[in-house]
Structure 1
């Protein structure tokens, strides 16, 4: 579908509200799909009936998951509310109810087996996921300045829900972190020598910290292999590695480890929380480390270990793989 003035107005509204580039792409995708499904009619000429028909179509014909249905609905509601300035009321379609499932977790030996099948930066990313309870996006977004080797902590900027927090820096990962920092330094120095060296920043931070673009401490801990054009501000920069690059490495490692469970990057975050509770950590501490707003979310892991039981050593420090 070619670019249109209307879709560009949606993009502007998304960026005005400082949504992530990932959210922007997702919202635009579902809005395009909605318009295409309804024969390219302008959304201001459509209403509840067209929305309901589209949502039923993606559920029944495309067989998308409940979470994807909800995402499509959120995208459409955003468009009507913020771009067309129209509230959608009395919609005969509510958010799809997602099944409540206990998360898949790996035991320490299983984590060890996966780690044995990974090398280099991908090994370190996995170790951080399990050792600090990160989300994958949080690990990949780490900058050099976020790593505090002295106080043994890692700062997570603008995590889910736009919340900042600190989490554990596992003692056993310090040598690998130092090695990765030096690797990032070499890449940055090469960029500077070639007349580049800018890191990518969100537009708001770009305006505020423009002078810091070329400083090493603002560079990503896991820089991408190539430079790119910033999607908002147009300057040439180096972003972090893409999540799909990590996912491919993880998939290969899980196959090689012969573990039959379904393992994703988020599995290590689940395993981190479960292991902390098993080892007697206070549930409030685990909640803080994970960045949960509601302790009920954290309490889910007490069901995984079959107990209400909740020194917080990182679970990765018990693994002797170094």
Structure 2
């Protein structure tokens, strides 16, 4: 019998030399070359003897997906692996097929969801969440949480019982911990309005915080004393109130939006178009499910957004084809996950108990799933979460710089631009309020201050 070909386990000598030159050209420090070489060899071994230059994009992505299931790889190690493979295939081996792969998606997939991330934190009980903060924390705040653990658990439990958003829960818990630290660790049961007033005064005088920050701290302490300790603070007037600023949101022109979107690639371009075309918040877009896109009625269902409110936003006709293609990709990925014994997705716990099979249904899959599977630290269940928002936020800022926009741009700027451009097109402000999901029209009114010609048409005296 002819000898079986030996499996390829590492790069050839000449390829290694060329690869190190490519790493230097990419600005990778020489002390990290050995680590990148190890990651590249890890990819070559996973290719099972196939020539990396002949791999198609879907085959490369399949290998990256398989390697991403290694629980021993931390986030930064997986990101290093993706970078190492990209440099190997494109810069060193000059694989034209590999250029079609969505490398930005795989690089962003390296960021896993932390236990306290807003989209999954509520899956843990208040006791478990406080335990993690104590375990991972250091310094004064960790000591405060440990000494007043029962009080903080009562606070978080009451916040959840009232249906507040997780961001509110996180902010209130932090302000209470900071207040106790200001009182040198003394329990809030032994302090009162005088200490609260001194703390709020110190935030302005020493901390130089804004009015909204001070107001948030006040609301957190009012909630603590009124709902948890049953000792309302009454009227707190004897402290310096930070002067409230009247802030006008940053808005891009239509030309700036086009220039910024042109600098985005892959999934980041698609989500950027979705943010501007619908006015959604960044987490509303990233947590969309397959079932939320309604092509027949031309709308997108935004479920349980800020304030636990549902709303519909228009589905841009120009995105219809790309969204259908994205759903086909999700379908293929989900089918592969099912064949590999996975395929679960996180859904609200009450629905998971009522419909236990729903976690494996296609309609519940995230529209923009991560390229890497995640392990639930509590149950050990392997799931596929949505893409982490940090990759998109970083890409938008870099795209704004490349396109020459000198304004302070972020993902939320797309939402501001959406509202402003609708008002400039003479759409009714009530309609804009409904599309944005604002409870009060005064919140929407702020966009009237950034119109090109606010109110009646007024010309500058200089132009006359």
TM-score by length of 2: 0.61
Question: How many residues are treated as equivalent by the alignment?
Answer: 308
Asked if 1:265 corresponds to 2:405, the answer is: no
Report how far residue 170 of structure 1 moved: 0.6
Quote the residue 1:110 is aligned against: 256
**Residues 282/77 of structure 1: CA separation in 2 closer, same or farther (3 Å cut):** same
Aligned residue among 146, 151, 157 for 1:6: 151
Aligned residue among 441, 446, 450 for 1:295: 441
Which of the pair has the greater relative contact order for Cα pairs under 8 Å at 6+ separation?
1
Alignment of 1:125-136 (within 5 A): 125-136=271-282
Report how far residue 210 of structure 1 moved: 4.1
Quote the residue 2:220 is aligned against: 75
**Residues 113/236 of structure 1: CA separation in 2 closer, same or farther (3 Å cut):** same
Report how far residue 290 of structure 1 moved: 1.7
User: Cα deviation per residue 1:35-91 (whole Å; 9 max; x = unaligned)?
Assistant: 122111111111112212222223332333322222222222222222222212122
Alignment of 1:90-239 (within 5 A): 90-92=235-237, 93=239, 96=242, 98-224=244-370, 225-229=372-376, 237-239=383-385
Aligned residue among 391, 394, 418 for 1:248: 394
Q: Is the 8 A contact 1:133 1:269 kept in 2?
A: yes
TM-score by length of 1: 0.85
Q: Counterparts of 2:157 and 2:341 in 1: how far apart (Å)?
A: 31
Q: Structure 2 unaligned runs (5+)?
A: 1-141, 457-464
Q: Counterparts of 2:275 and 2:450 in 1: how far apart (Å)?
A: 19
Report how far residue 205 of structure 1 moved: 4.2
**Residues 243/62 of structure 1: CA separation in 2 closer, same or farther (3 Å cut):** farther
Report how far residue 167 of structure 1 moved: 0.7
Q: Structure 1 unaligned runs (5+)?
A: 310-322
Report how far residue 143 of structure 1 moved: 1.3
